């Protein structure tokens, strides 16, 4: 069980450690931890370590990955980088890590504006092994065309091996998103995003629209990784009882040989509308289904950009109360 006290700071703002500069150190009593905000001097990579007396250590590397269309490029790339690197040329490194390590958590997430790769373990040696492999997969993936076709989209025969049968589009992400787009709730959310944020990336689907996914090219796939998966555009996050200095020594090895690569990954805000808007749309149903009583009505508000944590938390609570469960009004 985590202890009740807070780790004493071992560094202070302005300290230089292993090629990093400590920007801020702050004790967060409510969470029983000491937070360190740090920057890698050479590459500009940002680091946040939450030092707590908790043997569950977590490491995550994330990138701001604004989509340029709805081909699902960030999502396909998230799947693909975990298919092996030059140093770890495994066909499915993700499954191998699940099978061969003592990880307590391992995953990858594509959001509308960012992609995050977290791993966790309670065993120090295992933790750094996971973090080292994950970092190499993410920063130095093989990016094989075979992987792109498998994870993204390709043509295959309806009847495998029968060249006389029809060709269909397939792919792991393509098929996954076909399932998502078969849900009326998912389609309604898509319509809301497109109409609340028409001038921003949030009108696009970073997961991928099945109608658009086949437009993605292998060259775009490689260029996107080259552009956004740089340390300069990265955020490294650690939590647990491993000392900050140990994390920085590890990250110094990971970032060795990499350079600062400035990239504009800024995200445009949506202008406020002059007044309320009303939008109607349709969603598919099975041929044998009745359309009686199948109308869905939704009201949504675009909130002003907010960077205040307390206000954001209150809005999350309000959202949970209003629409967070079947018992919500």
Nearest to 97 by CA among 84, 80, 111: 84
Name 169's bridge partners.
155
- Report H helices in the chain: 73-81, 93-100, 124-139, 145-151, 172-180, 184-196, 218-228, 244-255, 309-323
User: pLDDT digit string (tens) for 258-300?
Assistant: 999 999 999 999 998 999 999 988 888 888 888 888 888 888 8
**pLDDT single digits (tens) 66-84:** 999 999 999 999 999 999 9
Distances from the Cα of 285 to the Cαs of 208, 281, 282, in angstroms? Answer: 21, 13, 10
In order of start, what are the domains of the chain with their CATH numbers? 16-143+217-255 (3.30.830.10)
**Segments in the chain below pLDDT 70:** 1-4
Catalytic residue numbers read: 78, 151
What per-residue confidence (pLDDT) applies to 1?
A: 40
* H or E element in which residue 39 lies: strand 33-40
The confidence score (pLDDT) of residue 308 equals 84
pLDDT of 4? 60
The tokens describing 162, both together, are 């029968």
Angle between helices 124-139 and 244-255 (to 10 degrees): 30
- For 167, residues 6+ apart whose C-beta sits below 8 A from its C-beta are 155, 156, 157, 158
Nearest 5°: the CA angle 19, 21, 23 is 165
With contact defined as beta carbons under 8 Å apart, do 113 and 206 qualify?
Answer: yes
pLDDT at 295 (0 to 100) = 86
Find where tokens 């028409």 sit. Answer: 198
Render 242-302 in DSSP notation, one character per residue: S-HHHHHHHHHHHHTT----------PPPPPPSS-----------TTS--TT--------P
Q: Provide φ and ψ at 116, rounded to 5°.
A: -130, 140
Pairing outcome for strands 46-52 and 234-240: parallel
Residue 309: the pLDDT is: 85
């Amino acid at each position: 069980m985590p202890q009740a006290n807070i780790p004493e700071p071992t560094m202070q703002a302005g300290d230089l450690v292993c090629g990093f500069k400590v920007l801020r150190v702050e004790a967060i009593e409510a969470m029983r931890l000491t937070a360190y905000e740090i920057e890698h001097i050479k590459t500009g990579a940002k680091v946040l370590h939450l030092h707590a007396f908790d043997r569950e250590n977590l490491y995550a590397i994330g990138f701001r990955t604004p989509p340029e269309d709805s081909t699902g490029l960030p999502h396909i790339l998230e799947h693909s980088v975990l298919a092996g690197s030059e140093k770890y040329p495994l066909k499915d490194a993700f499954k191998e890590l699940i099978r061969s390590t003592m990880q307590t958590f391992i995953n990858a997430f594509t959001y509308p504006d960012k992609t995050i790769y977290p791993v966790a373990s309670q065993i120090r040696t295992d933790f750094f092994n996971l973090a080292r492999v994950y970092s190499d997969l993410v920063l130095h993936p093989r990016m094989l065309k075979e992987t792109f076709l498998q994870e993204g989209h390709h043509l295959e025969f309806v009847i495998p091996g029968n060249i006389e049968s029809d060709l269909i589009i397939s792919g792991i992400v393509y098929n996954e998103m076909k399932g998502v787009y078969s849900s009326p709730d998912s389609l309604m959310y898509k319509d809301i995003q497109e109409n609340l944020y028409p001038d921003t990336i949030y009108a696009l689907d970073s997961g991928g629209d099945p109608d658009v996914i086949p437009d993605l090219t292998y060259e775009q796939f490689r260029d996107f990784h080259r552009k956004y998966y740089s340390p300069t555009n990265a955020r490294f996050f650690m939590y647990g009882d491993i000392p900050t200095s140990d994390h920085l020594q590890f990250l110094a090895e990971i970032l060795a040989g990499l350079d600062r690569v400035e990239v504009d990954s800024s995200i445009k805000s949506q202008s406020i509308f002059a007044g309320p808007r009303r939008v109607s749309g349709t969603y598919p149903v099975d041929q044998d289904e009745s359309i009686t009583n199948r109308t869905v009505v939704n009201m949504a508000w675009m909130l002003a950009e907010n960077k205040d944590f307390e206000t954001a938390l209150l809005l999350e609570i309000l959202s949970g109360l209003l629409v967070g469960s079947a018992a919500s009004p």
